[in-house]
A and B are shown apart, each in its own frame.
Chain A
Amino acid sequence: MHINSPKFKANVTHALADTRLQKALDFTRPSFAGRRGAAVANLPEFEQLRDIGRDIKNHTLAHLDFYLETWAANVEKAGGHVHWCSTADEARAAVLKICQDAGARTVTKGKSMISEELGINEHLEKHGIAPVETDLGEYILQIRDEGPSHIIAPAFHLNREDWEESFRKVHTDLPADRVFNERRDILTEARTRLREKFLAADVGITGANFLIAETGSSVIVTNEGNGDLTQTLPKVHIALASIEKVVPTLEDATSLLRLLARSATGQDFSVYTTFSTGARRQHDLDGPGEYHVVLIDNGRSNMLGTEFQEMLRCIRCAACMNHCPVYFTVGGHSYGWVYPGPMGSVLTPSLIGVDKAGHLPNASTFCGKCESVCPVKIPLPKLMRHWREREFERHLSPQSSRTNLALWAWFARRPGFYRLATRIGAAILGRLGRRKGRFQWLPFASGWTDGRDLPAPEGETFFARYAREQREKNS
């Protein structure tokens, strides 16, 4: 995908002026957070499961070489093929070669963020193969030639009128004056159109939420069923997976699955959770004749052993962006690449370089909400701070923010002063913002508030609140 992250500030200005986008953001924000909250409240063990999820991922990352080799050996035992690709170029070439060997003309695709990261569609098109996105959200984005604005709800920034307009433009064989009475009619038109594509495709490409070392399986999680049609009907199935997707056993995957849907959409479990192991077996009546996994590093192994290793625990649930005040002010496209929100602010500089994505870690109010909802407990604010410090060291920041950051760093290294200073700051801001709960503008911080509302502190810092809650708990 094209990289627009260096233009973060301009993107934000644009997003704030986009009334359609702002309408979609306002419309969606409460439901995203609310659904997760309800699902979590329904599972008393959820907090314990977060610790378990974190530990499973940490264990796997500490032995990543071993589990990848075990997984790959088991894929091959089951008759599948593994293509190890250390760069995006290699991965694109591997996908193209499999498609060409299959004589493919059209390829259906399940939703995959790594496919966006690699730019698989553009590459296939360049070589005369037509990729068709089949996730409804991805389908409309492909029609509109837009990137996703969210990792699990890629097109939530569009309104109904956008869908109707786009469908009229491309489904030209249908009567131009047809009426879309309700959302259902839009869905039905897409379903019919894509059903033909599923049946005609030569190759199906999906992502993978997990790889399982023990069995050599890849796992996809969807609600629509498009991923399953993609991997079941064509004669070849390609799963794209990055190296950090592997977990040791089915039991490990199961524990993470208990966290995933609840954190993502607030469902107890997604509609389709599907485990693929090898190709069609003797006497099977359906299923792909070939099963390939394109295993992709593309910069991730460089994160191991650094302060960013923890980011490799991410299971792409989107809870962090769903709860992020910055994300819901600027929208996903402002982040300028594949991964938006807090997880993107940490991951994108790791993958495309801090020189291109250095603005992103600044897109935070450090409210800490992302970390508090992350199912695998990634300390996102801390990791964003690491990027800021690195950026600072590289002297990429303009003079004014360098001075402020140096000041902040002085306080941050002296916890006593830091607490005192933030307490004073929070109290003042809390009083100022009492009326609306958010700041549109703050004195001396217009560089900040020009592009974002700052949520008004509730008059108490995290530290103060934590101390109070501990006191209350213990009394």
Chain B
Amino acid sequence: MSKHIILGAIRRGLRRGPLPEDQAMALRARMTAHPRHLIPARSRVPRPEQIALFLRNIEKEFGTFTRVPDLAAIPAAIADYLAAQNLPTDFAMAPHPELAAIPWSERPLLTQRPGRAQSTDLVSLQHGYAAIAETGTLMLPAAPERPTTLNLLSDTFMVVLRASRIVGAYEEAWDLLRAESHDERSGGFMPRNVMLVTGPSRSADIESTLELGAHGPRRLHVLLVDDDPTALA
């Protein structure tokens, strides 16, 4: 059996047999504790600066954003954004309760199609689970209410993100998942797929020159909802 051949060869190389139980226990304890390593200082700043760092990084990575006071302001913000980009007003939307609760009827010209994305969708709207200020990165775990295809198939990718869900470092975002997510089958917390997205798709394969919109979206637009009083300063 190849498994035994491989493990045997590894152990021969390491000049020992299977790991003694006390050592295995120590390693299991390390995984349970999952200690953090050095976290760069750049994201360990007061709340308002953290949000500002996130937004600066979004722009650095060729994304754009609109800051709105509450979820009720989303339809107008989207209508304005799509009009400014000369884009169609219908879009695929994550079937997430928070997005469903947005008062869409105030903008009857916008058409939402809840569900996964199709290849023909030009615009999609995703629910942002969390975001990481350190590099302007969105965390998008797959779930029935947050289909992965929405992140990938459209040309213009919009994400609703609450400011209270912006953290400094990746490790803090993992801790949110560890606390909030649960998979019945494995007993673990990892969703099937977790995408960390930093800016729109790009390639530098042609003559080492950067072009946006390789296989994924060409535009990334964040709709930031200011639901965090400590972030406003």
Contacts and interface: CB of A to CB of B under 8 A. Distances in A.
A410 interface: no
B197 A272 contact: yes
A302 B9 contact: yes
A471 interface: no
A224 B215 contact: yes
Interface string A76-90: 011100001110001
Nearest to A306: B13
B10 interface: yes
Given A281-B183, A285-B147, A153 B19 contact: no
B10 A228 contact: no
Which of A66, A250, A295 neighbours the largest number of chain B CB atoms within 10 Å of its CB? Answer: A250
A160 B207 contact: yes
Given A283-B144, A284-B142, A303 B190 contact: no
Contacts of A286: 116, 142, 147-149
A230 B147 CA distance: 15
Interface in A138-156: 140, 153-156
> Chain A interface: which size bin?
35 or more
Interface string B126-147: 0000000011010000111001
B221 to A, nearest CB: 15
A268 B41 CA distance: 14
A271 B202 contact: yes
A78 B215 contact: no
Contacts of A153: 204-205, 208
Interface residues of B, number: 83
A305 interface: yes
A79 B204 CA distance: 36
A305 B13 contact: yes
Contacts of B38: 45, 48-49, 52, 255
A183 B209 contact: yes
B18 A65 contact: yes
Contact of A280 (B36, B192, B208): B192
Contacts of B23: 63
Interface string A290-307: 000001010001111110
A28 interface: yes
A446 interface: no
Contacts of B149: 232-233, 285-286
B37 A229 contact: no
Interface string A250-292: 1110110110000001011111111111111101111100000
A258 B30 CA distance: 21
Contacts of A301: 6, 9-10, 12-13
B195 interface: yes
Given A214-B31, A287-B142, A78 B193 contact: no
Interface in A420-475: none
A276 B192 contact: yes
Given A79-B185, A85-B2, A279-B192, A136 B11 contact: no
Interface in B126-181: 134-135, 137, 142-144, 147-149, 151-153, 170-171, 174
Interface string B7-33: 101111111001100011001101100
B2 A84 contact: yes
A27 B197 CA distance: 30
Contacts of B151: 228
A49 B36 CA distance: 12
Nearest to B28: A70
B108 interface: no
Nearest to B7: A65
Contact of A250 (B34, B119, B143, B153): B34
A343 interface: no
A278 B201 contact: no
Contacts of B5: 86, 297
B27 to A, nearest CB: 6
B87 to A, nearest CB: 17
B211 interface: yes
B205 A215 contact: no
A209 B199 CA distance: 20
Contacts of B40: 43-45, 258
A31 interface: yes
A70 B30 CA distance: 13
Interface in A241-255: 243, 248-252, 254-255
A305 B152 contact: no
In order of increasing CB-CB distance, the 3 nearest A-B pairs are A304-B13, A225-B216, A224-B214
Interface of A: 24, 27-28, 31-32, 43-45, 48-49, 52, 56, 62-70, 74, 77-79, 84-86, 90, 134-137, 140, 153-156, 158-160, 163, 183-184, 186-187, 191, 194-195, 198-199, 213-217, 223-226, 228-229, 232-233, 243, 248-252, 254-255, 257-258, 265, 267-281, 283-287, 295, 297, 301-306, 309
Interface of B: 1-3, 5-7, 9-15, 18-19, 23-24, 27-28, 30-31, 34-38, 40-42, 57, 60-61, 95, 115-116, 119, 134-135, 137, 142-144, 147-149, 151-153, 170-171, 174, 183, 185-209, 211, 213-217
Given A223-B214, A225-B216, 16 more contacts: A66-B27, A68-B7, A69-B7, A78-B188, A136-B205, A163-B206, A184-B211, A214-B31, A216-B190, A229-B152, A250-B174, A273-B195, A276-B193, A286-B142, A304-B14, A306-B13
19 contacts: A32-B208, A43-B40, A49-B37, A70-B28, A84-B6, A214-B34, A226-B214, A228-B195, A232-B148, A243-B10, A248-B30, A255-B37, A275-B195, A277-B186, A277-B192, A285-B95, A285-B149, A295-B6, A305-B15
